[in-house]
Amino acid sequence: MNNDVISSPRPLARRGPLGVLLLAGGIALALAGLAATVYRLKEGLGITHLGSTVPWGVYVACYIYFIGLSAGSFLLSSLVFVFGNKSLEPLSRLAVFQAFVCLILGLVFIFLDLGHWERFWHVIAYPQWHSVLAWEIWFYNAYIVVLLLELWFLMRSDLSNWARATGGLAGKIYRALSFGFRCPQTVEEHARCEHKTLRWLKILGIIGIPVALGVHGGTGAIFAVVKSRPAWYTPIFPLVFIISALASGGGLLLFLRVFVAPDPKVDRQILPDAAKLVAGFLIFDLLLLFLEFLVGIYGGIPDHVRPYLLMTHGPFAWVFWGQQLAIGAAIPLLLIFARPAGSKYRTKELGIAGFCMFVGIFGVRLNIVIPALAVPVLHGFDTAVDSPRLASLYVPNWVEWLSSWGVAATGVLVAYYVMRKLPMREHQPPPGGAVVSKPSLQS
């Protein structure tokens, strides 16, 4: 019997004492952070440390960070659906789910950054088509549709099986989520259906690739078209966004697979290759960073060089050297590539490497947004009027950090809860351990 039952022993990683601690901490952070978020929305942006010299700060950094995580993991999943990559295939559901959650988080952050958040609908109602930001809104809308459709195609047969195997409210929810799809019960029909699903996923993947490139490359273009900030104004910028998205999205995917939704037997097979692929994107990203510095510093145009000097020698140089290069690049590359010959990969190490990558890319995001703005557009502008709102030194205050952490923690907790209730791996048994039999048994 056991051979016929498609089951993994554990639906998702069981929570150890550390997990419980993390969960409790996460809930506390989410509650405190949501209070800070409500405070921010009620009081306006005046309670932040943003100003008129540095008008964008942590919220915008979080926005491009999460949009990047989303686009990166989506593009990795399309390697499976469109290009037939096998090593990433078991990760594809997780990747698409992660893409959806991160997109929503990114949009929450840009909402949180608006001076008049109650007018967010203006971007839909009064689009101004010369604005890259207006294009992006429509890319995001199209992207949400692609992601939801992909998720449905990926999970519909498991969901319909779960709906049959589970009773009560959960069963009803699974039925509703399968949107009337019924998994065929004979082997032939099932194979035909799977084939159809794969074809749809390929079509959606093909549509999704330009959309996801538009989503994050376009987010890069928001910055790249701004000629008043020479460090942003480079055609390499949209590409930097896409490549760093692949590195951070891949890193998060490795981490989640290893520590939250593992499948040890499969993981030992596929994760080393997946990790090398993601590390390849990280190396590509470092190359782009080198090119940016090379061209900018070689040219020596003062306004172009100053943001780089701030990054590498300013008060937050540790973000560049420590978070971005040491944690975000050196450690994961050592973990993945610097190994004694012939030694076996431990999946935990790959998960940690992934963790370092997505932590490091957050430093990249901060260094994209802030240093370029912290250099005043005209010499002396920041001191022309005696006001902290014109200061070129921007240090985010507790409201900004707490509300950001709160939004992120809430997103992670909700996603974690939903993840435990959804078939994140193929043919995973429903929560509660009910057993779903292979279709072959009933043919």
Assess 142 for contact with another protein (CB under 8 A).
no
How far from 205 is each of 145, 202, 274, 313, CA to CA, in Å?
A: 12, 5, 19, 43
The amino acid present at 381, given as its one-letter code, is F
Which residue of 11, 56, 69, 412 would you call a contact of another protein, by CB under 8 A? 56
> What secondary structure does DSSP assign to 129-140, as a single string?
TT-HHHHHHHHH
Q: Taking each helix axis as running N to C, give the angle between helix 17-43 and helix 92-112, from 0 to 180 degrees, rounded to the nearest 10.
A: 30
Assess 374 for contact with another protein (CB under 8 A).
no
Assess 171 for contact with another protein (CB under 8 A).
no
Assess 400 for contact with another protein (CB under 8 A).
no
Which residue of 3, 126, 168, 343 would you call a contact of another protein, by CB under 8 A? 126
Stretch that binds another protein, among 269-277, 322-330, 334-342, 387-395 (CB under 8 A): 387-395
Assess 427 for contact with another protein (CB under 8 A).
no
Assess 17 for contact with another protein (CB under 8 A).
no
The smaller minimum CB distance to another protein, of residues 137 and 170, is found at 137
Assess 39 for contact with another protein (CB under 8 A).
no
| φ and ψ at residue 92, rounded to 5 degrees | -65, -40
The smaller minimum CB distance to another protein, of residues 74 and 232, is found at 232
Surface-to-core class of residue 363, CB atoms within 10 Å of its CB (0-12 exposed, 13-18 middle, 19+ buried): buried
Q: Nearest distance from residue 399's CB to another protein, in Å? A: 13
* Paired strand residues for 437: 5
- b or e along 239-254 (b: 16 or more beta carbons within 10 Å of the residue's beta carbon)? bbbbbbbbbbbbbbbb
Which residue of 379, 395, 441, 443 would you call a contact of another protein, by CB under 8 A? 379
Q: Nearest distance from residue 386's CB to another protein, in Å? A: 9
The smaller minimum CB distance to another protein, of residues 45 and 69, is found at 45
> What secondary structure does DSSP assign to 266-298, as a single string?
HHHHHHHHHHHHHHHHHHHHHHHHHHHHHHHHH
Surface-to-core class of residue 87, CB atoms within 10 Å of its CB (0-12 exposed, 13-18 middle, 19+ buried): middle
The binding track of 221-240 with respect to another protein, each residue x by CB under 8 A or -, is: -x--xxxxx-----------
The smaller minimum CB distance to another protein, of residues 43 and 189, is found at 43
Structure tokens at 417: 């809860």
Which residue of 37, 53, 77, 219 would you call a contact of another protein, by CB under 8 A? 53
Phi/psi-derived region of residue 168, left when phi > 0, alpha when psi is between -120 and 50, beta in every other case: left
Assess 50 for contact with another protein (CB under 8 A).
yes
Which residue of 122, 192, 195, 196 would you call a contact of another protein, by CB under 8 A? 122
* 3-state secondary structure at position 5: strand
Which residues in this chain contact another protein in the complex, by CB under 8 A?
A: 42-46, 48, 50-53, 55-56, 110, 113-117, 119-120, 122-123, 126-128, 130-134, 137, 222, 225-229, 373, 376-381, 384-385, 387-390
